[in-house]
């Protein structure tokens, strides 16, 4: 991603998710037919994808030229694209085709970026709300105690336990939907689903079931304490479907651990430096949108001084 122009990426990202809602709804209703209809969401979505693929292709070509010119002396940037360009099939010795490299790079850019940014957006939304002041205070205290003014590292990540609980509770409150395709005709609760139907599993349903999560609409990170009993039923620990923000089973998100580590590290660094305040006047129908989520960042030194005056 560092080889791609930041302003261009921001513009493309905005275009992509402006078209995303209408395009996805159309795909659910019309299936593959949506890709062949000249509707505005389809035109904008496919045009943006073509632009991204073309840009990645130019990046691949540039890396191949560098390798051809300098051979072993070419700088190894240690990134995904370079690794895939150099990769060979262990049996045939063949290189990966460009189409496969582009598809994998797209997966990292789109799926990897979208999940992390969405989790962080919801996390900041909940932490910045006035009723969660104590949650934010505990996050800041943990960041100060564990990090000691330094950036997070492998040694300190495991000690950010409360930050992990807060992230997991945000994922319980606002999990994503997971799209699947029915591989055969099936009937669920009296509803017949033909083979080939696009199906979205909304894990927000089990995540908000009061039988498993008492007061399910309350943001309570303590329920995610593995040592505690606050709002966490024992069967939740053995039944994957009761807590599945990244889906469950063999088709669960392969990058979920990396995404959660990114979120915890980012949140800890934010809490080191800032106090967050959510804009309560903004209607939150979803956070994955072109112009993002409005959150006020207040430097902690100035915020803490104001809070100190109130205490006096």
pLDDT digits (tens, 9 = 90+) for 240-266: 678 888 888 888 887 788 888 999 999
Tell me the pLDDT of the chain averaged across its residues: 82
Which residues are part of a known binding site for heme?
253
> Quick one: pLDDT band at residue 268, thresholds 50, 70, 90?
very high
The confidence score (pLDDT) of residue 306 equals 60
If pLDDT is split at 50, 70 and 90, which confidence band does 290 have?
Answer: very low
Please give the Cα distance from 307 to 61 (Å, whole number): 55
Give the whole-angstrom CA distance, residue 309 versus residue 305: 6
Give this prediction's pTM: 0.76
As given in the structure block, the two tokens for residue 82 are: 């370079």
Question: CB within 8 A of 199, min separation 6: which ones?
Answer: 179, 180, 181, 182, 193
Distance CA 294, CA 282 (A): 8
- Assess contact for 221 and 197: CB atoms under 8 A: no
The annotation places the binding site at 253
Q: Which residue has the higher pLDDT, 278 or 78?
A: 278
Cβ atoms of 126 and 173 closer than 8 Å: yes
Of 75-89, 164-178, 271-285, give the lowest mean pLDDT range.
Answer: 75-89
3-state secondary structure of 94: coil
Q: Kindly state the average pLDDT of the residues 287-306.
A: 71
Find the largest Cα–Cα distance for the chain.
74
Kind plus residue range of the DSSP H or E element containing 186 = strand 186-188
pLDDT in tens, 114-142: 778 888 989 999 999 999 999 999 999 99
Average pLDDT score over residue span 100-113: 78
pLDDT tens figures, 3-14: 666 777 777 777
The 10s digit of each residue's pLDDT in 192-245 is: 999 988 888 888 888 999 988 999 999 999 999 987 655 454 444 556 678 888
Looking at the chain, the whole-number percentage of residues with pLDDT higher than 90 is 31
Domains in the chain with CATH codes: 1-76 (no CATH), 97-178+207-311 (1.10.630.10)
CB 288 within 8 A of CB 114: yes
- Residue 78: predicted pLDDT: 65
| Stretch 155-175: mean pLDDT | 93
Q: What per-residue confidence (pLDDT) applies to 235?
A: 45
Neighbours of 129 (CB within 10 A): 16
As given in the structure block, the two tokens for residue 3 are: 């080889």
């Amino acid at each position: 991603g560092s080889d791609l122009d930041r302003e261009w990426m921001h513009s493309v990202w905005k275009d992509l998710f402006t078209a995303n809602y209408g395009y996805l709804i159309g795909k659910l209703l019309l299936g593959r037919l949506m890709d062949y209809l000249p509707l505005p969401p389809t035109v904008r979505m496919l045009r943006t994808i073509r632009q991204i693929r073309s840009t990645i292709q130019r990046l691949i070509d540039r890396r191949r030229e560098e390798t051809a010119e300098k051979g072993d002396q070419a700088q190894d940037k240690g990134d995904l694209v370079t690794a895939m360009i150099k990769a060979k099939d262990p049996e045939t010795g063949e290189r990966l085709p460009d189409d496969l490299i582009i598809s994998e790079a797209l997966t990292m850019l789109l799926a990897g970026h979208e999940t992390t940014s969405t989790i962080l957006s919801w996390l900041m939304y909940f932490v910045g709300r006035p009723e969660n002041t104590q949650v934010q205070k505990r996050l800041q205290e943990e960041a100060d105690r564990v990090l000691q003014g330094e950036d997070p590292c492998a040694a300190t990540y495991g000690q950010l336990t409360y930050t992990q609980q807060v992230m997991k509770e945000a994922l319980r409150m606002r999990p994503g939907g997971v799209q699947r395709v029915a591989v055969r005709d099936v009937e669920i609760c009296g509803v017949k689903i033909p083979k080939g139907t696009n199906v979205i599993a909304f894990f927000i349903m089990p995540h908000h079931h009061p039988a498993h999560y008492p007061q399910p609409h309350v943001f309570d990170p303590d329920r995610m304490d593995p040592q505690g009993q606050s709002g966490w039923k024992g069967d939740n620990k053995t039944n994957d479907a009761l807590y599945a923000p990244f889906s469950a089973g063999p088709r669960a998100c392969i990058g979920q651990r990396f995404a959660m580590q990114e979120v915890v590290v980012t949140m800890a660094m934010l809490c080191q430096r800032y106090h967050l305040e959510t804009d309560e006047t903004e209607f939150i129908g979803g956070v994955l949108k072109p112009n993002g989520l409005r959150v006020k960042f207040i430097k902690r030194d100035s915020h803490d001084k104001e809070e100190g005056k109130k205490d006096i």
